[in-house]
């Protein structure tokens, strides 16, 4: 129940956020150099981006950490599997560096395991959990504190596939910045 509450809070926080444009008004003939400096818009976090065969990372993490997507990535865990690929580990190495010494040092992330719709709801929730635990264990081995890693599962609850190619899209772990409310609570 705690996991579902955290997941719902995360969805609500992401859904309610809006990007705001910065505007500057100059009232004198000589513009103030500090006032005319353009500000960078906040990164778009409306969609996760696939970065390796089994990982999708939110736009705010990608922007803060400078992580690039793997061009040839097919977002799949093998059917009924939770093992990370070498591409996954390369991306997670970058995430771990960012969370331990980089721009997101000390920040918490949510690791959301997902599955395709085949199998029972209970089984798919367990498989999604094993997938997110696999990512958590790897990040922890690289020095990320367990309290920074919120492990959860959605199983096949959000799955949209209807054939092998689209089911492969459903078998992944999403990595998102945790909301402020869940950062203080640590991972489960």
pLDDT digits (tens, 9 = 90+) for 153-165: 999 999 999 998 8
Report d(CA 84, CA 82) in Å as an integer.
Answer: 7
CATH code, domain with 157? 3.30.1330.60
User: Residue 79: inside a domain, yes or no?
Assistant: yes
Total domains present in the chain: 1
User: Residue 154: inside a domain, yes or no?
Assistant: yes
For residue 85, the model assigns a pLDDT of 87
For residue 37, the model assigns a pLDDT of 37
User: Residue 6: inside a domain, yes or no?
Assistant: yes
User: Residue 24: inside a domain, yes or no?
Assistant: no
For residue 61, the model assigns a pLDDT of 92
Q: Where are the alpha helices (H) located in the chain, listed in sequence order?
A: 2-16, 33-36, 59-65, 86-100, 121-141, 164-170, 180-183
Q: Which residues contact 15 (CB under 8 A, 6 or more apart)?
A: none
User: Residue 99: inside a domain, yes or no?
Assistant: yes
Q: Which domain holds residue 133?
A: 2-12+48-183
Q: How many CB atoms lie within 10 A of CB 38?
A: 7
User: Residue 89: inside a domain, yes or no?
Assistant: yes
User: Residue 26: inside a domain, yes or no?
Assistant: no
Whether the model clears a pTM of 0.75, i.e. scores above it, the answer is: no
| φ and ψ at residue 49, rounded to 5 degrees | -115, 135
Partnered with residue 34 across adjacent β-strands are: none
For residue 48, the model assigns a pLDDT of 74
pLDDT, tens digit, 9 for 90 and up, residues 69-126: 665 443 458 888 899 988 889 899 999 999 999 999 999 999 999 999 999 999 999 9
């Amino acid at each position: 129940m705690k996991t579902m509450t955290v997941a719902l809070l995360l969805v609500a926080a992401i859904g309610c956020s809006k990007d705001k444009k910065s505007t500057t008004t100059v009232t004198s003939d000589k513009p103030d150099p500090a006032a005319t400096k353009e500000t960078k818009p906040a990164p778009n976090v409306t969609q996760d981006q696939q970065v390796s065969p089994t990982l999708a990372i939110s736009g705010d993490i990608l922007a803060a950490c400078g992580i690039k997507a793997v061009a040839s990535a097919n977002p799949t865990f093998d059917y009924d599997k939770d093992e990370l690929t070498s591409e996954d580990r390369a991306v997670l190495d970058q995430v771990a560096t960012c969370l331990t010494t980089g721009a997101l040092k000390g920040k918490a992330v949510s690791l959301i395991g997902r599955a395709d719709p085949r199998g029972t709801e209970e089984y798919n929730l367990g498989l999604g959990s094993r997938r997110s635990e696999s990512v958590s264990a790897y990040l922890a081995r690289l020095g990320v504190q367990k309290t920074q890693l919120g492990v959860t599962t959605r199983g096949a609850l959000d799955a949209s596939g209807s054939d092998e190619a689209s089911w492969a899209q459903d078998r992944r772990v999403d990595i998102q910045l945790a909301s402020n409310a869940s950062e203080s609570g640590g991972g489960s």
